[in-house]
Structure 1
Amino acid sequence: MTAVLNSTAEWLSTMSTDSRRNGSNGDKSSQASDHENFISLVNVASDIQPPKGWKNFVILPLQMAYITRYLWGTDKLRSNGFEVRSVDGSSSGVIHCEDPKVLSLWVGYIDSNISELNNKSIKLSNKYLHPDELIVYLGWLCERVNVTNAESGDFLKTWEPRFVMLKGNEFYLFETPPLSVEELKSSLTCQKVLETRFRDLKEHEKVGKREHCFIIETAFGENLYLSIESSDQFVQLRGAWQRCTYYAINKLETYTFACAMEDRPSAIIFDIRHGIGMYDVPTKKYLRWYKFSELQSSADDGKLRIRLVFHNKKFENNQHILDLDCTDFRKLIFYLHAFLLARIMSVDPDYLNLKTHKEKAVSTAPAGTV
């Protein structure tokens, strides 16, 4: 198996070189038509022949493809195999590798090529999009479904593949990748990023055997339980979510919520430059401004009341407590979290740097087909 992999790697390396050479000529001629597709398709060489004595059984385009080691629709991990599905749903079938190291190499090579093609597609697509509508992330993950019946023993699919896209200030989930603007309307989920929160799971919240799971909370009370294939993909998606939040807040700059404080009509203002302000409506005056760094804790009763505790040595007893009543308290909490995250990222440039848990192996496989 190792010898086969080595000879295959040499062929793949040659294919990669030819693909880049042919692709560089094709890119120029295709730029005029790229804008016709919502997500630009990357040109790759399609006339490359395998080595003498080899035969192609299946050729799958890797752009926006999905690679998984899990049995389809379950949380059962294949010990020695994986499957690739292309954007049109075609499957490679289950590919078995007896050597775990070979399995890891192949999964890494293919995943790296998929990421490379998706990133190139993002760059090509963003050339034709408004700066406020740029694509930040494209990729596949899985959503847990049939949660109530999953533990009953019934044969039901408990995981469904979803194509995720972060675009502008919105988050989308699709059954299949949207290749036109019209297909954006077919999304299963569309939420403003500022009204969502990417949250790591606590130990008691984990369900099933899948790794790299997380929750997307929404201001409307709907939570999505999601899983992604690898730790590197998890870090990339979380980083993209944070960047998307950062860009959206810096575009928004300030947001105001109507509320009541001590039964007086008031307003609380979140401002990325000035912090958190309290405004008294009857007197039309600002009562006080707090720095984001002074916010020590927040709590709510799940209905209407929100308590914010600020800490500063200048305050009496070193702290100041605000008890507010707000009918839109859930949305207020999500915006507060988003402003805090954006503020942290603005004062700590390194926060924006996307760091993986470990260095990825450099792929010698071609960008385009497997």
Structure 2
Amino acid sequence: RSNAFEVLALDGVSTGILQFYTAQESADWLRAISTNISDLTLQNMKMANKCCSPSDQVIHMGWVNERLEGTDSSQLYKFKFLALKGSSFYIFSTPPVSTLDWVRAEKIYNLCEVLFKIHKLWLADDCWLQANLYLGIHQDFDLEDQRPYCFSVMVGHGKSHYFNVELGSELAVWEKSFQRAIFLEVQRTGSKTYMCSWQGDTLCFTVDFALGFTCFDSKTKNVLWRFKFSQLKGSSDDGKTRVKLLFQNLDTKQIETKELEFQDLTAVLHCIHSFIAAKVASVDPVFIDNQSIARKYMYSN
């Protein structure tokens, strides 16, 4: 029902279903309550950051609904508390209160190896806008449920978490916060190296914010090849372990194909995406804002 909602406390106590005369009145109250919850969460975030080092600050945190996995649970959601802090993306069943709570999260993922993706926006004319922000990434979600403001966070080994928030403004904040948190982590990290193999040889593949891509022998440390981010012209993968990277040779202008195998290919592809996005953002900060589908539509409606 568009004219009703429910408020739940941390201890599980519910207000019951609050029903209003009109959908607009319900929406006004929902927005007011959500704003108050966000303000209190922001206060807690600022207090937590006083005890954290500059490299381990909380960028954003808040409540979402997570769709549970399973063949018969496509419509079943559960409340989760998400946080972007330092180098990690956290998923909690209840908000962290003490320092120890942060290591007790249900899931912790490195920010360089996740991919944020918006799926649905509910527009003013009651039409769905299905937004694929990042081309070339396979979408395998069943989006038949009628919840608006949906996004997913793709993680390693091809797994994903599918979330929903109550307001379009919340979706816009999560989108911007993920972009900022990943950008900061890429700059802090500088580079990430992954073990890989090709034709029986054990190699190391490094993604470096300053240098681009480097592949070297894991034993001798001899550099086999190196390319800048701008030289990457395309890629393809088998969805399992193997990827082909297409680079343009600056001297010959010819395309060179480099094929590698990784244990967690998804994490590596997400890392490449994070570093390239951060590189583009560092050169053209306006680019990220122009790519923000959530903010573009939420604030114009």
TM band (smaller chain): 0.7 to 0.9
CA distance in 2, matches of 1:310, 1:236: 35
Q: Conserved in 2, the CA contact under 8 Å of 1:141 and 1:161?
A: yes
Give the aligned partner of residue 171 of structure 1: 89
Q: Which amino acid aligns with 2:36?
A: N
Q: Conserved in 1, the CA contact under 8 Å of 2:172 and 2:298?
A: no
Q: Which amino acid aligns with 1:81?
A: A
SS of aligned partner of 2:166: coil
CA distance in 2, matches of 1:343, 1:247: 11
TM-score (structure 2 length as normaliser): 0.80
Give the aligned partner of residue 248 of structure 1: 185
1:320 Cα deviation from its structure 2 partner: 2.0
Hey, which bits of structure 1, 4+ residues long, moved more than 6 A? none
Q: Conserved in 2, the CA contact under 8 Å of 1:147 and 1:158?
A: no
1:224 correspondence with 2:142: no
Q: Which runs of 5+ in 2 are unaligned?
A: 120-138
Give the aligned partner of residue 83 of structure 1: 6
Give the aligned partner of residue 133 of structure 2: none
1:163 Cα deviation from its structure 2 partner: 0.9
CA distance in 1, matches of 2:143, 2:79: 19
Question: Residues 223 and 146 (structure 1 numbering): CA distance in 2 closer, same or farther, change over 3 Å?
Answer: closer
Give the aligned partner of residue 143 of structure 1: 66
1:213 correspondence with 2:182: no
Residues 104-163 of structure 1 deviation map (CA, whole Å, 9 limit, x = unaligned): 222222222222222232122211211222111111111112531237xxxxx7111111
1:271 correspondence with 2:189: no
CA distance in 2, matches of 1:164, 1:181: 16
Question: Residues 146 and 286 (structure 1 numbering): CA distance in 2 closer, same or farther, change over 3 Å?
Answer: closer
Give the aligned partner of residue 325 of structure 1: 261
Q: Conserved in 1, the CA contact under 8 Å of 2:186 and 2:274?
A: yes
Give the aligned partner of residue 335 of structure 1: 271
TM-score (structure 1 length as normaliser): 0.67
Q: Conserved in 2, the CA contact under 8 Å of 1:142 and 1:161?
A: yes
Give the aligned partner of residue 30 of structure 1: none
CA distance in 1, matches of 2:42, 2:171: 16
Alignment of 1:1-370 (within 5 A): 78-145=1-68, 147-150=70-73, 158-201=76-119, 205-261=142-198, 264-280=201-217, 284-311=221-248, 314-317=251-254, 319-351=255-287, 356=295, 357-359=297-299
Q: Which runs of 5+ in 1 are unaligned?
A: 1-77, 152-156, 362-370
CA distance in 2, matches of 1:308, 1:214: 28
Q: Conserved in 2, the CA contact under 8 Å of 1:174 and 1:188?
A: yes
1:90 Cα deviation from its structure 2 partner: 3.1
CA distance in 1, matches of 2:64, 2:230: 35
Instruction: Give the total of aligned pairs.
Output: 278
Q: Whose RCO is larger (CA < 8 A, sep 6+)?
A: 1
Rg (Cα) greater in structure: 1
Q: Conserved in 2, the CA contact under 8 Å of 1:243 and 1:352?
A: no
Residues 28-83 of structure 1 deviation map (CA, whole Å, 9 limit, x = unaligned): xxxxxxxxxxxxxxxxxxxxxxxxxxxxxxxxxxxxxxxxxxxxxxxxxx221122
Give the aligned partner of residue 127 of structure 2: none
SS of aligned partner of 1:172: strand
Give the aligned partner of residue 21 of structure 1: none
CA distance in 2, matches of 1:123, 1:294: 41
CA distance in 2, matches of 1:194, 1:263: 28
Question: Residues 185 and 290 (structure 1 numbering): CA distance in 2 closer, same or farther, change over 3 Å?
Answer: closer
Question: Residues 108 and 280 (structure 1 numbering): CA distance in 2 closer, same or farther, change over 3 Å?
Answer: same
- Give the root-mean-square deviation of aligned CA atoms: 2.8
1:315 Cα deviation from its structure 2 partner: 3.6
Q: Conserved in 2, the CA contact under 8 Å of 1:278 and 1:288?
A: yes
SS of aligned partner of 2:196: strand
Q: Conserved in 1, the CA contact under 8 Å of 2:113 and 2:268?
A: no
CA distance in 2, matches of 1:246, 1:192: 12
CA distance in 2, matches of 1:105, 1:186: 36
Higher strand share: 2
Percent identity, aligned pairs only, is 27
Residues 257-316 of structure 1 deviation map (CA, whole Å, 9 limit, x = unaligned): 233456555432211011112335677443443221222222222343210012466444
